[in-house]
Structure 1
Amino acid sequence: MASDDAFPSDKRQMIENIDRFMNDSVPHNRELGLSVVDVGPEEATLRLPYSEKLVGNPETGVLHGGAVTTLIDATCGIAVFMKLARLARIATLDLRIDYLHPATPGEELLARAECYKLTRAVAFVRALAHHGDPGNPVASAQGTFIIVED
């Protein structure tokens, strides 16, 4: 993880601002209850709380894959913003997700994404979703995002 030296002294306020931006600009994120846990110079961690309304199969209680996908996509997008260090229009070009095992019913899900490469027009991101142990991920992902300059 990179140093937080480049960030304002009030990191909590910055996280709250990013969280508000993420939920105001994408109402779907707000509806799912996504929240920003942490950010760094090229990374982000978001939380998806468990909710019965997000269950894909009522017999198992496992979260629907669409909710997990949204968590990963939003986390990757915030990581791109952190690497850019400015607001720009971005859009997901490609997002490949490998589901490694079902999410545990009743438990929140975390996702951490890192924007590891940035070109003039494309950002490259990798992510893991887990229940608190990155060594036992529920899903892993690779994504690319287009950066649209005005």
Structure 2
Amino acid sequence: MSDQQIPDGTAETIQHVIDNQHGYLAWLGMRVDTVSYGEISLTIPFDDKFTNPTDPPTIHGGVAASLIDTAGGLALRTTLANPLEDTLATVNLNVNYLRRASAALTAHAEVVRTGSSVGWADITVESETPDGETTEVATGQAAFRLFQS
């Protein structure tokens, strides 16, 4: 997205916050895969506790929605002047479910725009199919109110 850099160790810092300060995201087992200015990739591993009672089991759509919301917000944080001090709140979340998922979910978020009071991100969620291919299972768009100092 940009030539702007983020500090070394940003992925580790985000992971530390997820693991130690955000019970819900830690319960989901969310992991930071990659992070750069205006972009992030996060994964939630497959766990039976996230599945619908179908045969074969499929991941509940709320897990993908949580991943879309979180990835969008964290991607936006990387564009803020004070990403650890400034805050944001979701004002709109749109999730489009494309197909069932029955494996780990990985979201790729990219910031579309960071304004003075509102930011927007596009997010794609992928999962592995039973035959070993990776495919899109959901897309999303999220808008956030930015509280910048």
Q: What TM-score does the superposition give when structure 2 sets the normalisation length? A: 0.86
Q: Is contact 2:116–2:148 with CA below 8 Å preserved after alignment?
A: no
The 3-state SS of whatever aligns with 1:136 is strand
Q: Which residue in 2 is equivalent to 1:64?
A: 60
Structure 1 Cα separation of the partners of residues 128 and 74 of structure 2:
19
Q: Is 1:83 paired with 2:82?
A: no
Q: Which of residues 45, 49, 64 in structure 2 aligns to 1:49?
A: 45
Structure 1: gaps spanning 5 or more residues: none
Q: Which residue in 1 is equivalent to 2:5?
A: 6
RMSD: 2.1
**Residue type at the aligned position of 2:96:** D
Q: Is contact 1:97–1:139 with CA below 8 Å preserved after alignment?
A: yes
Tell me by how many angstroms 1:33 deviates: 0.3
Q: Which of residues 93, 96, 101 in structure 2 aligns to 1:95?
A: 93
Identity %: 27
The 3-state SS of whatever aligns with 2:135 is coil
Structure 1 Cα separation of the partners of residues 32 and 71 of structure 2:
8
Q: Which residue in 2 is equivalent to 1:146?
A: 145
Structure 2: gaps spanning 5 or more residues: none
Number of equivalences: 143
Tell me by how many angstroms 1:78 deviates: 0.7
Cα shift readout 1:82-126 (whole Å, capped 9, x = no counterpart)? 1215221111100100000011x2x21100011110111100110
Tell me by how many angstroms 1:24 deviates: 3.1
Relative to structure 1, is the Cα distance of residues 36 and 120 closer, same or farther in structure 2, using a 3 angstrom cutoff?
Answer: same
